[in-house]
Structure 1
């Protein structure tokens, strides 16, 4: 958890790539963090039917902007609080899209089955042809579980 935060987070933030939000305990020790960055979900010929369902109604482009949850890390002692950290990340991302626009909250669980299952339980759906998953902000705000 600490290595990436120490070596990469500030560098990415200074370059304008992402922002890392840190949870610290009362002794100012980092216990969790998440990183958010801009992303685009694009339509390809292979996923055109899926993208039509995914894209907001009357959306004119072949791609839609969103927020990517780049990192989500939790101290071992706080395992089981992942939903709270994810909710914080979601609310922060949602505040951003309300200010600048956006459609999707995207995660990339890679090849981690437990992480993938965590996101499925949290309401995320698979983007066909990728390992990424998404929530549509508008649909989620109407009542998906988190």
Structure 2
């Protein structure tokens, strides 16, 4: 059974663009490399041909995997999300109770997570711990090096 993944409009477009790039640019390049290697003579002793065929196989596997991802992708309708609780696409401001540090995160699907831009996955330990919480609530989150306590300061959607 395939796993359904939820995406923002931006994330879904990025996935589609990458899939199209693999099909329209990378696939012809792989075929070209095989043709060039084939022209160089005896295939039984042609390492370049073997490498090109292997690269093509890996590319086709990647395309198949991405096509499955895209087929099971669902667009998140932000207008239907409750803004009083932390859900996917929530912008959450939290305060670490141990050191008083405040952080802002956006909870996104696993495939869109990027810590540099403040996007954390809803399947990460912190993401899971924040889901369903309301402003003022405390979230106790178990991470590999112990337990963290965060207070939910604000929740928004932009």
- State TM-score, norm by structure 2: 0.25
Whose Rg is larger?
A: 2
- State TM-score, norm by structure 1: 0.26
Report which of the two has the higher share of helix.
2
